[in-house]
Amino acid sequence: MKILVFYILINTCLTNNSRVVGLLAQLEKISTEPTESDTARYVTSKILHLAQSQEKIRREMTAKGSTGMEVLLSTLENTKDLQTTLNILSILVELVSAGGGRRASFLVAKGGSQILLQLLMNASKESPPNEELMVQIHSVLAKIGPKDKKFGVKARINGALNITLNLVKQNLQNHRLVLPCLQLLRVYSANSVNSVSLGKNGVVELMFKTIGPFSKKNSGLMKVALDTLAALLKSKTNARRAVDRGYVQVLLTIYVDWHRHDNRHRNMLIRKGILQSLKSVTNIKLGRKAFIDANGMKILYNTSQDCLAVRTLDPLVNISSLIMRKCFPKNRLPLPTIKSSFHFQLPVIPMTGPVAQLYSLPPEVDDVVDESDDNDDIDLEAENETENEDDLDQNFKNDDIETDINKLKPQQEPGRTIEELKMYEHLFPELVDDFQDYDLISKEPKPLVFEGKVRGPIVVPTAGEEAAGNSGNFRKGVVMKENVSPLGDEGDKKPSFMDLAKEDIKDNDRTLQQPLAPGFTAGMRKDYSLPLTVVTCSKACPQVAACGNVLFEGRTVQLGKLCCTGVEIEDDEDTESASSVEQVSVEVSDGPTLHDSDLYIEIVKNTKSVPEYSEVAYPDYFGHIPPPFKEPILERPYGVQRTKIAQDIERLIHQSDIIDRVVYDLDNPNYIIPEEGDILKFNSKFESGNLRKVIQIRKNEYDLILNSDINSNHYHQWFYFEVSGMRPGVAYRFNIINCEKSNSQFNYGMQPLMYSVQEALNARPWWTRVGTDICYYKNHFSRSSVAAGGQKGKSYYTITFTVSFPHKDDVCYFAYHYPYTYSTLQMHLQKLESAHNPQQIYFRRDVLCETLSGNSCPLVTITAMPESNYYEHICQFRNRPYVFLSARVHPGETNASWVMKGTLEYLMSNSPTAQSLRECYIFKIVPMLNPDGVINGNHRCSLSGEDLNRQWQSPNPDLHPTIYHAKGLLQYLAAVKRLPLVYCDYHGHSRKKNVFMYGCSIKETVWHTNNNASSCDVVEDVGYRTLPKILSHIAPAFCMSSCSFVVEKSKESTARVVVWREIGVQRSYTMESTLCGCDQGKYKGLQIGTRELEEMGAKFCVGLLRLKRLTSPLEYSLPSSLLDFENDLIESSCKVTSPTTYVLDEDEPRFLEEVDYSAESNDELDIELAESADYETSTQEEVLSDSDSSRTYLP
């Protein structure tokens, strides 16, 4: 009767309010009255019924501002009635089960964890404890525990660990009770101290009693037990306990059993759980050894190969691959030492730094051991076990940002006295020359003169203008927009690049002699471009050696071997018969060329290398012209990385299949070159070459090892080498096995470059992107912690790619990026100097200094000649602002030199805009800051073994002469009050796409520290953003959103920051050009080529002209017809467009592109084990070939 009256009252009072709100209100009133237990039981049952049936009610009870959760928890804490307790627990289960993590977090925030743990303690005191109550409490705690950061500590303090563990021990056959208990044990184990405590109480042994071989029964319990075991084994103490009891073998046996019997793959999550447990236990050295001893590599290899055909089993393949890679025994590189093969004696050995450390390393430094923390007897609560150091990078912090405002403020520091700086006066004659001896009568442009031949002007390279062509015939040039050739019909002829007879040339003789032998003639063809020597052959030449005498006086320079079968003439209706003397012409596709093969040979003669190179690579001799087709970013075939890793693992499993033969070795000058016809031959003994050792692994697979930078034991990334002796149509796999960066654009569509001599002789003298099945991943080679500078487990990475060669016995060259040698630069500068019009262009080529090995570091000055030698014209000339440019401080960033080439050619051209630009500025350019590094094939350093772009703060004149004197030039300009308007250092970027800039801003740096109050107080001219913004409008490859203007502590000694902070140049930049391609703009989806890079260099110049208009609108104006720009003003509001960069020793931001496993180079990615199936059927695999169909030919 009492309940009936209450029910009537409830129904009448809820006419205008939610029913559940009224029930909760009533529950709150009666929760403190023990005599109202019947009513509480009834009310909670009604709330449970509503919560079970309506999502709206569940949302209402957990909505912001609702007191429903507090009422339920308060009642739960105070009630003595079992049924009321069960009802409330059931309500909580309903709420947290359907609402995801938010509702569980809501319950934690209301104090639910502590109340439930206390309830568990109270319930455990009953003998026997109520089964239903224990099931419900454990179910709720298992749901909310992961959302409570202190849950592990709370559970341990309340004594909950042993309660749950004892329940499992005492009720192993009661699956309904054991299941939520195991779920909660897994949550407990997330805390390492709890995990160790549970392990000591026998939980590991208990789990192995729960799991077992294949069974159709209790699969849910098996799954949860495996999840719990995997969490427990993350503790090293528990992992060692499992190894000591032989459980690694047990896990492998169970896995094989489930693999064999789970034919319909309905128990994929159980199989995955077993693998997760194996992954945890193999985090320790003992576990890895036990895994190897139990034949785990072969077991997982075979089972994973069985799974490849079913895409839904990919998680099993991926985890198996992770385990096998981790357990693959770590090896040292097969080298006598990881230090460079070449040694250069420094004039001064620094007391500190990487070179000093290198000289002090013990002999056994290269020995590699499996380094792990197996001796740690105590697992700390804060322990966070990760397999490799790269995992730590995923959550990097902003602690590299400079936060000291005083350090951020530019403070011009002379550094050197005026007397010391006077040594640079002779490099600035433009400031004192009165031009009395110059012929300045006319400003009319005159044709360029070179060796008595009239030539047309240099034209700005434009990536949009390309030759139409087909691969079989000679290509005709593009009609220039300006400066039509005055030569009439004859001007339409393209220069013949090289004509050679189709004759056999002996493979083993590389010497190209000069003067040319009888039968060879050298001549010039008239053309509107710069001249190019034409070599023609009028009679058979069986041997190159027969062509003449010694090439140089003093030492011989050899040219790489020509194709053994001579020139393959492609089928064409105009081709002569094979019996006649066939001639091949190699054409320049469009625009002028600065290449001269004979001049290049002469310059190489004076280039000094540490190995004393005597050979010249054919691409450098022939030259490179951009191909007439676009090369799209390569789409990555599905699963390519794991396929390559599986092939690597086969080396360990099937060792008898491995040839393991050395076929090239710089460290052993006496090694024998194999004579077998089917073995590739390698070479890198030429300028900028880098290849140290080659090992044949399988018939058509080779491991390649790069040489470290001289006076260093690392920095392996740049490669440039020759391959010969190939057969056409055979897929050759190349693995470069000692790269160091943790990721690469090779994982995101970038291809290596190949240059075919046969193709060059067939009128296609260009580098092309080649290779299929390309990926970049961590391998099993590593450096010792001593050699790695104290970094634990410093692993190497592999670049792997597969190439099929089009021609038999061709000679091909491979490179990381388009090579640009020091000798090429000197040749280009000499051609520019010889060809310029001295009445129009002021051009000086000086020597800034000599490098450590005695090579000259060129310094170029470019501006317009004064209109006359009258006083006002001389004053205008001297008062032009300076622009200071530099490039190639890092030898492996060859794209920086191609951008610089574009800049130089534009500045020397006769176009009206180029002339206007020269009239605006005086350009001081150091086009190659690290000649020695470039010459010797280094990737990052100079001969001092140091990154020169980290020496700008305190350069040593003996060890870093180019930096010391480049900084001296800038200090001199500051001392004479001629501070450059712009300083820009050209770089290349290996892990980002597009072209972008780094600049320096106090305000944006402070903004990134999240100290908004401080950033608001900073007053700063935002002119540093103007030039990048201009470039984003006019340069199709440039991306403003990738630019950053934040100053990091780790970059305080770079050129950009020092020139900004010490010299006082506000517009001080690093311009980074991608090695890969673009993901925005006109070139989106395309790999970058030399045409686009040179265009970027030219566009940079055009940007400077626009900058002049914006910064000096009153004193200077250009006709708008010359610059087709937007009329709107450059936006200059201070807003951050991209995050800063956080890199310790690279001029690169972290690689931020999203990576899935198939592209991931890190070993460990924590894989959450969801209770429900977490896999989906994937789309069909797409495999792309590296064929002409992947290229887009221009119309």
Q: Which residue has the tokens 């096998």?
A: 324
Does the structure show a pLDDT above 50 at 888? yes
Does the structure show a pLDDT above 50 at 569? no
pLDDT tens digits, one per residue of 633-690:
999 999 999 999 999 999 999 999 999 999 999 999 888 877 777 899 999 999 999 9
Lowest mean pLDDT among 286-295, 515-524, 767-776, 899-908: 515-524
As a dihedral over the C-alpha atoms of residue 896, residue 902, residue 905, residue 911, rounded to 10 degrees, the angle is -150
Residue 1086: the pLDDT is 97
Percent of the chain with pLDDT over 70: 72
Does the structure show a pLDDT above 90 at 218? no
For residues 27-51, average pLDDT: 81
- The answer to whether the bond into 1149 is cis (omega within 30° of 0) is no
pLDDT band at 702 (very low <50, low <70, confident <90, very high): very high
Does the structure show a pLDDT above 50 at 500? no
pLDDT band at 1153 (very low <50, low <70, confident <90, very high): very low
For residues 570-587, average pLDDT: 34
pLDDT band at 937 (very low <50, low <70, confident <90, very high): very high
Distance from C-alpha of 596 to C-alpha of 594, rounded to nearest angstrom: 7
> What are the backbone dihedrals phi and psi of residue 202, each rounded to the nearest 5 degrees, phi first?
90, 20
Does the structure show a pLDDT above 80 at 337? yes
Q: With helix as H, strand as E and coil as C, how does 203-264 read?
A: HHHHHHHHCCCCCCCCHHHHHHHHHHHHHHCCCHHHHHHHHHCCHHHHHHHHHHHHHHHCCC
Told to judge if 1072 belongs to the known catalytic residues of this protein, a careful annotator would answer yes
pLDDT band at 371 (very low <50, low <70, confident <90, very high): low
For residues 756-761, average pLDDT: 96
Q: Are 609 and 686 in contact (CB under 8 A)?
A: no
pLDDT band at 102 (very low <50, low <70, confident <90, very high): confident
Lowest mean pLDDT among 75-89, 193-207, 864-878, 1115-1129: 1115-1129
Higher pLDDT, 791 or 126: 126
3-state secondary structure of 984: strand
Q: Of 100, 106, 91, 11, nearest to 53 (Cα)?
A: 91
Distance from C-alpha of 595 to C-alpha of 497, rounded to nearest angstrom: 10
Does the structure show a pLDDT above 60 at 351? yes
Does the structure show a pLDDT above 60 at 724? yes
Residue 54: the pLDDT is 82
> What are the backbone dihedrals phi and psi of residue 720, each rounded to the nearest 5 degrees, phi first?
-160, 110
Quick one: tokens of 429? 């004659």
Does the structure show a pLDDT above 70 at 365? no
Query: To the nearest whole number, what is the mean pLDDT of the chain?
Result: 78
For residues 778-803, average pLDDT: 82
What's 1050's DSSP letter?
A: G
- Count of all residues that appear for the chain in the document: 1195
Does the structure show a pLDDT above 70 at 313? yes
pLDDT band at 556 (very low <50, low <70, confident <90, very high): low
Distance from C-alpha of 723 to C-alpha of 814, rounded to nearest angstrom: 8
Distance from C-alpha of 455 to C-alpha of 835, rounded to nearest angstrom: 8
What's 705's DSSP letter?
A: E
Distance from C-alpha of 406 to C-alpha of 489, rounded to nearest angstrom: 67
Residue 548: the pLDDT is 29
Residue 783: the pLDDT is 84
Q: Are 1134 and 1020 in contact (CB under 8 A)?
A: yes
Quick one: tokens of 135? 């099931």
Question: Whole-model pTM?
Answer: 0.78
Residue 1017: the pLDDT is 64
pLDDT tens digits, one per residue of 1016-1071:
566 778 889 999 999 999 999 999 999 999 998 889 999 999 999 999 999 999 99
Lowest mean pLDDT among 6-15, 415-424, 1025-1034: 6-15
Does the structure show a pLDDT above 70 at 581? no
Residue 423: the pLDDT is 95
Lowest mean pLDDT among 54-63, 496-505, 775-784, 983-992: 496-505
Residues 1072, 1092, 1094, 1095: which is the catalytic one? 1072
pLDDT tens digits, one per residue of 725-737:
999 999 999 999 9
Residue 8: the pLDDT is 41
Q: Are 1074 and 1065 in contact (CB under 8 A)?
A: no
Does the structure show a pLDDT above 70 at 13? no
Does the structure show a pLDDT above 50 at 494? no
